[in-house]
Amino acid sequence: MVPPIEPSNTRTGDSTSGPKETTTDDRLNLSDPSNAKTLEIRDDLKHTRPVAWGSWSLSSPTTVDLVFWGGPDDCDSVSAEVTETDQDVTINLSLGALPGVTECRAIAVKSKCTITLERELGNRQVRQDN
């Protein structure tokens, strides 16, 4: 079982991308998305369960990449519930089995997914409820 995430916030920026905020939990080593397996957001998953993401990064003004522990991509994928307000963007992820999959290896895979926002993130906070 993955321990609960107690995130810490770090704000960084560079001259080409503007401000970025990343939330990380070093115990889970989810701060670097470069070696994470990409899962597509789907709405047809079976047996979904909430999953906490460990870090996020802004890859464009309207695109947020999330890193989390998932399962093998031939068995599992991810769904997302996104709520945007003027103050924050709440992104809750759920893992679930792909349609037709009945058995799967019980291994944790460092995974990532991409969320497209309705408008630029700007100064809004990125958060999760689950």
pLDDT of residue 5: 36
| Mean local confidence (pLDDT), 12-40 | 57
Max distance between CA atoms of the chain, in angstroms, equals 48
pTM: 0.76
Rounded-to-integer distance, Cα 23 and Cα 127, Å? 9
Give me the chain's average pLDDT, please: 82
Tell me the two tokens of residue 47. 């047996």
Percent of the chain clearing pLDDT 90 (strictly above)? 68
